[in-house]
Each structure stands twice: as C-alpha cells, then as structure tokens.
C-alpha cells in the first residue's frame, strides 16, 4: 500500500556566512503511513527539524537540496510551484512549533484566526466557518471554548495557545501534522495534556503525526514508531515500545541512559554522576566518511571509520544502521 508520505534519499545542506556548509540531512529516507504517530528523536544538530520542515518543502534561504524527494501520496512536494505548495500547507500537511506565539497574530482574536485558515483553503461562507471553528473549539476546550474563542493570544496560557495552534493546524482536516517540539516550553503536566489531545485527534481523524522531540519519555505510550536521528541520519527505527525499551544502536542506548528515570530515583537515590555520552557533538561541516557516531562509540570497530553502515535488522525488530548487526 502506498504510504501517506515518503521521503527518499533527501540531502539538505545549509550555506553558512563564512562560506562553510552544514550537512543537515544526508540521504534520509522514511515512510509515514496514514493515521500513524511517528516520533523523531534526536538532539540539537541531528537534522530532526530540517526533516520536519522538508515535509512541507519549507527551507530557509540558505538551505540547498542536494538530491532526494518528498512524496505526498506519490506527488513530489519539492517539485511543486509556490502556489501549488500553498494549497498543500495548512490543508493537507500542517505544522506546529515549540512557540505557538509565532503562529498567532497578537492583535486578532484567536477564533477569528482559525476561521482565516478555513477562508484560505475552502469556499465556506462566514457563518459556516464560524460554526465549524466553534464546534472544533468545543471539542478541544469544552466549557472554556466560548471564552477562548473570543480571546487574544496574550490572554491565554501557554498550553491554551498551543491548543489553539493545533486547532488552526487541523481545521482543514489535513492528513499529516508535523509537530516540532510542541511541548518543550510547557510544564510537564500541560505537556501530557497536549499529548492526550494529539492522540485523540489521531484516533478521531485518522491523523498521522510526525512528532519531533529530544524528550524521549514523551514518546512512550504515544508514538507508534520511533526514528532516532544523529548527525543528519536516521540510525535506528522501529516500534516505539521496542526502540525505547530495548534500544539497539549504541547512540540510542547512550542517549537513553543519560536521562534519569523517576522509578530508579525513588528506589535508590543516587548522588553519583549521571552517565553522559563521551566526546563532542558531531562536526557537521563535512560529510562523514564512516559512521558519525564512531568517535564517541564504546563499541567502535575499524570498519566504522571507513564507511557508513546500511540498515540491518536488529534483535528487537527494529532497523539499525550499525556494523554490530551487519551493515
């Protein structure tokens, strides 16, 4: 069956002012099926945000695509003209960021802002748009919907603003929502509520979600599949429960041990050091000859510095780019 969205061998580089380049994505490929939640887990510089932006063909001016395709139901978004892309963005594929304030006009009531999105993409009349938005806000805000509809962004809390950004992103019933660190500025209780809302929307609307984050614990019980990125490449991918509980790639394993877990702390309070990933973050100014993680990898072999491994099947059913498993 054709996936909802497919990225094929996408490579993106950024041109820096000093003439250097940043290799943000290197021949990255992935598939998203209808209605599935895919978590993209990675740290700064992993390429996760570039990947998210590329699904909407949204690149900053200094970005250059060095090959690859982004296929939405078979059509390559990277080949579309600007006006054709405008029809896709917001109506077939939408995006929410970490700072909902960026997406919201400060001097316009939020209900109206959501209606504007409908106006841009549909031929519904004003009354129909209003009804639709009010109904959407009812389902998201419950008894607070009326007050929220009439509010300005500054009158809402961070969590409420993010809910409005989500409403704005889904009002035209897109099939894919890209969420780039949408809960990073929210407290942990509100974070969980936003995740619950997204999960509900997935079920009700068969909405696929690409959830980009560095906060691995958010993906547990939320994402269907997880992809782990490092230095512009996907290094491990598989069922969320398996990747997060039985990680196979040395980077994924190292990353998961850096983050303390409450259960561990409750049972044995430990003031010894938290494990860290040794070495420095990868230098993205040149293409890597071998595996980008090799300099920091405790299981590094000779071949790791010679070429990049291909994907192999790991024990937990995931696919891993690591010579430990073949490659």
Partner 1 sequence: MSVRALDQVSFVVQPGTRIAIVGASGSGKSTLAACLACLEKPSSGSICFQGRNLEFLSESELQNIRPQVQLVFQDPAMAFNPIFTVLEILEEPWILQTKLNSEERKERAAELLGRVGLPRRILDRKSADLSGGQRQRLAIARALALEPKILILDEALSALDYSVQAQIANLLLDLADPSIPLAARPAVLFITHDLVMAARITDEIIVMQSGRIVESGPMREVMRNPAHMATRALIAGASGVSSSHEKRPAV
20 binds partner 1 (CB under 8 A): no
* E-state strands within the chain: 5-15, 21-32, 37-41, 63-65, 69-72, 75-76, 93-96, 176-180, 208-213, 225-230, 233-239, 311-313, 319-321
User: Does residue number 159 form part of the binding site for partner 1 (CB under 8 A)?
Assistant: yes
Q: Is 261 in the site for partner 1 (CB under 8 A)?
A: yes
Question: Toward partner 1, which CB reaches closer, 230 or 325?
Answer: 230
Q: Which is nearer to partner 1, 85 or 184 (CB)?
A: 184
Indicate the residue among 214 and 287 with the shorter CB distance to partner 1.
214
260 interacts with partner 1 by CB under 8 A: yes
Instruction: 182-185: list long-range contacts, CB under 8 Å, 24+ apart.
Output: 182/96, 182/97, 182/98, 182/100, 182/211, 183/213, 183/215, 183/218, 184/98, 184/213, 184/214, 184/215, 185/98, 185/99, 185/158
81, burial (CB in 10 Å: exposed 0-12, middle 13-18, buried 19+): exposed
Binding status of residue 146 toward partner 1 by CB under 8 A: no
Q: Alpha-carbon distance 22 to 11, whole Å?
A: 11
Residue 19 contacts partner 1 per CB under 8 A: no
Among 1, 61, 273, 298, binds partner 1 (CB under 8 A): 273
DSSP strands (E only) in 181-273: 208-213, 225-230, 233-239
Site size for partner 1 (CB under 8 A)? 48
Reported as type and span, the H/E element at residue 16 is none
Note whether 102 binds partner 1 by CB under 8 A: no
- Of the candidate spans 27-35, 105-113, 138-146, 297-305, the one that interacts with partner 1 by CB under 8 A turns out to be 138-146
Structure tokens at 262: 């409450």
Q: Is residue 214 close enough to count as binding partner 1 by CB under 8 A?
A: yes
Q: Among all chains, which residue has been given the structure tokens 């909902």? A: 100
Q: Is 160 in the site for partner 1 (CB under 8 A)?
A: yes
Residue 221 sits in the site that holds partner 1 (CB under 8 A): yes
74 binds partner 1 (CB under 8 A): no
Q: Calculate the CA dihedral of residues 153, 121, 91, 1 and round it to 10 degrees.
A: 170
Q: Which stretch binds partner 1 (CB under 8 A): 22-30, 49-57, 251-259, 285-293?
A: 251-259
Question: CA nearest 110: which of 69, 140, 72?
Answer: 140
* 193 near partner 1, rule: CB under 8 A: yes
Shortest CB 23 distance to partner 1, Å:
17
Please tell me whether residue 83 binds partner 1 under the rule CB under 8 A. Answer: no
Query: Is the distance from CB of 45 to CB of 231 less than 8 angstroms?
Result: yes
Out of 81, 142, 203, 298, point to the residue binding partner 1 (CB under 8 A): 142
Residue choice 128, 281, 286, 303 for contact with partner 1 (CB under 8 A): 281
Residues of this chain that interact with partner 1 (CB under 8 A) are: 43-44, 141-142, 144, 157-160, 163, 184, 186-193, 195-196, 214-218, 220-221, 254-255, 258-263, 265-266, 269-277, 281
């Amino acid at each position: 069956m054709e996936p909802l969205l497919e990225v094929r061998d996408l490579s993106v580089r950024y041109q820096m002012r000093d003439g250097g380049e940043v290799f943000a994505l290197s021949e990255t490929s992935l598939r998203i099926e209808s209605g599935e939640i895919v978590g993209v887990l990675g740290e700064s510089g992993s390429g996760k945000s570039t990947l998210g932006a590329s699904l909407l063909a949204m690149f900053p001016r200094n970005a250059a695509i060095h090959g690859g395709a982004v296929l939405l139901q078979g059509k390559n978004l990277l080949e579309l003209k600007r006006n054709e892309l405008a029809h896709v963005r917001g109506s077939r594929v939408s995006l929410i960021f970490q700072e909902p304030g960026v997406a919201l006009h400060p001097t316009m009531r939020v209900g109206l802002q959501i209606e504007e999105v409908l106006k841009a993409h549909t031929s519904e009349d004003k009354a129909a748009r209003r009804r639709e938005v009010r109904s959407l806000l009812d389902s998201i805000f419950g008894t607070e919907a009326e007050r929220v509809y009439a509010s300005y962004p500054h009158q809402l809390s961070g969590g409420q603003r993010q809910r409005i950004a989500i409403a704005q992103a889904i009002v035209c019933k897109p099939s894919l929502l890209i969420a780039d660190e949408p809960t990073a500025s929210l407290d942990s209780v509100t974070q969980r509520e936003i995740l619950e809302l997204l999960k509900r929307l997935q079920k009700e609307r068969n909405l696929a979600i690409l959830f980009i984050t560095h906060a691995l614990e958010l993906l547990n019980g939320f994402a269907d599949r997880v992809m782990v990125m490092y230095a512009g490449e996907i290094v491990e991918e598989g069922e969320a429960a398996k990747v997060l509980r039985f990680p196979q790639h040395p980077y994924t394993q190292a990353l998961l041990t850096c983050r303390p877990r409450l259960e561990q702390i409750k049972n044995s309070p430990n003031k010894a050091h938290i494990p860290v990933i040794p070495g420095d973050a990868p230098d993205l100014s040149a293409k890597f000859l071998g595996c980008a993680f090799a300099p920091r990898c405790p299981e590094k072999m000779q071949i790791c510095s010679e070429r990049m491994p291909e994907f192999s099947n790991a024990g937990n059913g995931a696919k891993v780019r690591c010579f430990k498993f073949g490659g």
